[in-house]
């Protein structure tokens, strides 16, 4: 329950700061940068080395990547069908595809299914969502935030200099290594800032009133993210006959709200910042209802 309260409180706090002009206008960008350059790498370095592999642990990875791939294709097709601008399309390609698998996934799924399923949550999060954020997210930002054509060289440079990606490579090399207690504590404290800092940044950019032009992409994004994505995950699990904790966790993760960091990336690079923030913010609020329905459906 305290996790739910913290999430709602941080969003409300950020929104209140915005309304009363307590911070400077660029405060949200600064907080977003802190999450991407410090908090997120710390979490990756903290969690990835703890993982061990088994055949069952592959299930969340498979579902994560298939759901993201199909969501990206559907989002691109729908964006072209509705003739959304390049800026809006880039925003939707980030926030509709990348799921909030960590600080929404961890507290919500552990609340529904217990602490024993957390290894599957971490697998989906680290080897699915975060890896996609590092490569796919960088590609989308590079392609949609530039007017000129994007070269392979530029994409590669952005991928290999993206702090979370660097942290991921280091963490994979350290799998099985047990960190010094002091290092673990430092990483834990840094990683824990993702929730308050990221969600306050969302609140800072949250607009409760959308313009008429934003309603269509807003509704499209949340329909795909909160309704269609988990249905795709259920379809994959049924196709392969997966009916266990690993598949149930993956289905729940697929139905989580849009990733806050994806919204932060969209905002930092000028990809419809207000729309991106609204999709992430409202998506988090709506996901409290949709994940409850989803859990009852698979339960």
Kindly report, residue by residue over 142-152, the tens digit of the pLDDT. Answer: 888 865 555 66
User: What are φ and ψ of residue 211, in 5° steps?
Assistant: -75, 165
pLDDT top residue among 284 and 1: 284
pLDDT band at 4 (very low <50, low <70, confident <90, very high): confident
pLDDT band at 251 (very low <50, low <70, confident <90, very high): very high
Which residues lie closer than 8 Å to 143 by C-beta, 6 or more apart? 90, 150, 155
Percent of residues, the chain, with pLDDT higher than 70: 94
pLDDT band at 163 (very low <50, low <70, confident <90, very high): confident
What pLDDT score was predicted for residue 150? 57
Q: What CATH fold (topology level) applies to the domain 30-298?
A: Na+/H+ antiporter like fold (1.20.1530)
CA–CA separation, 76 and 90 (whole Å):
9
Q: What's the predicted TM-score (pTM) here? A: 0.80
What pLDDT score was predicted for residue 209? 72
The alpha carbon of residue 103 and the mean position of all alpha carbons in its chain are separated, in whole angstroms, by: 9
Total residues found in the chain within this entry: 299
What pLDDT score was predicted for residue 172? 80
pLDDT at residue 203 greater than cutoff 90: no
CA–CA separation, 235 and 169 (whole Å):
32
The conformation of residue 137, written as its DSSP 8-state character, comes to: I
pLDDT at residue 216 greater than cutoff 90: yes
- Where do the structural domains in the chain lie, given as residue ranges? 30-298
CA–CA separation, 212 and 214 (whole Å):
5
């Amino acid at each position: 329950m305290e996790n739910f309260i913290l999430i709602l409180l941080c969003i409300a706090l950020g929104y209140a700061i915005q309304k009363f002009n307590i911070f400077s206008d660029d405060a949200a960008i600064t907080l977003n940068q802190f999450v991407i350059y410090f908090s997120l790498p710390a979490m990756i370095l903290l969690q990835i080395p703890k993982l061990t592999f088994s055949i069952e642990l592959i299930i969340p990875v498979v579902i994560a990547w298939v759901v993201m791939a199909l969501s990206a294709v559907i989002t691109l097709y729908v964006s072209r069908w509705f003739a959304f601008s390049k800026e809006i399309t880039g925003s939707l390609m980030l926030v509709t595809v990348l799921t909030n698998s960590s600080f929404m996934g961890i507290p919500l799924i552990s609340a529904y299914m217990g602490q024993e399923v957390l290894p599957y949550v971490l697998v989906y999060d680290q080897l699915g969502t975060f890896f996609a954020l590092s490569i796919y997210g960088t590609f989308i930002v590079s392609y949609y935030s530039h007017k000129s054509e994007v070269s392979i060289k530029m994409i590669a440079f952005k991928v290999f200099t993206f702090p979370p990606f660097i942290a991921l490579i280091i963490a994979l090399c350290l799998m099985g290594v047990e960190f010094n207690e002091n290092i673990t504590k430092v990483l834990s404290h840094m990683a824990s800032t993702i929730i308050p800092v990221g969600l306050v940044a969302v609140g800072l950019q949250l607009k409760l009133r959308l313009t008429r032009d934003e309603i269509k992409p807003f509704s499209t994004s949340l329909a795909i993210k909160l309704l269609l994505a988990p249905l795709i995950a259920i379809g994959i699990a049924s196709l392969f006959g997966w009916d266990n904790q690993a598949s149930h966790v993956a289905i729940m993760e697929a139905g989580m709200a849009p990733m806050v960091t994806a919204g932060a990336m969209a905002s930092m690079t000028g990809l419809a910042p207000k729309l991106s923030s609204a999709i992430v913010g409202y998506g988090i609020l709506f996901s409290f209802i949709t994940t409850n329905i989803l859990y009852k459906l698979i339960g």
